Amino acid sequence: MLHALLLAASVTAYAAPDVSVNAVRSGDGARVEGEFSVPVPLPVAWEVLTDYGEQPRFLTSLRESKVLRRWRGGCLLRQASRLEWWMLRKTVSVTLRIHEQARTEVAFEDESRSDVRRYAGAWTLAQDKGGVRVRYRLEAEPNEWLPGLLVRRALTLHAREALEQVRREMMRRLAAKREMAERFRRRR
């Protein structure tokens, strides 16, 4: 039990992540880039990024995430997210063609173009001293005209929140795996 408390404390202590996010104008939309480092093994980080069905559990703005079809190295994924900032309140639905590249990149692009004119980007992972460096990029352009500043600000806040939540989930899963290993070790 003490081991579990210490693991939980270490996750909590690491809960104030140094996530950096930047958004710039891109056509009628925005390009968002963000990154963070996390002290977890690469397989744990990859597991979180590719556990599409579980993402609404730890990404608070994500209302739906359903794999429609799978194939080697990717899938077709339907997601709906709620964006809220100031006067902007919008649910955005996308059908993403996902391309996974062996624990290094999850690239995505919306095929439906129903709620957005353009929605494409990637998560990339790189081994870092003491863990993994996670980078995120997104290019988004709404179907309807919205002030550029509003779009950039909403996407920046949305991305920062998502990156922090992904980072916390990576730490939570590492702690859970360590706890499970410790329980198994004690039983032997």
pLDDT tens-place string over residues 142-167: 877 666 667 788 888 889 999 999 99
d(CA 80, CA 111): 14
Among 3.30.530.20, 3.40.50.720, 3.10.20.30, 3.40.470.10, name the CATH number for the domain at 34-175: 3.30.530.20
Helical H runs in 107-147? none
Please provide residue 170's backbone torsions phi and psi, each rounded to the nearest 5 degrees: -60, -45
pLDDT range class, residue 4, cuts 50, 70, 90: very low
Predicted TM-score (pTM) of this structure: 0.85
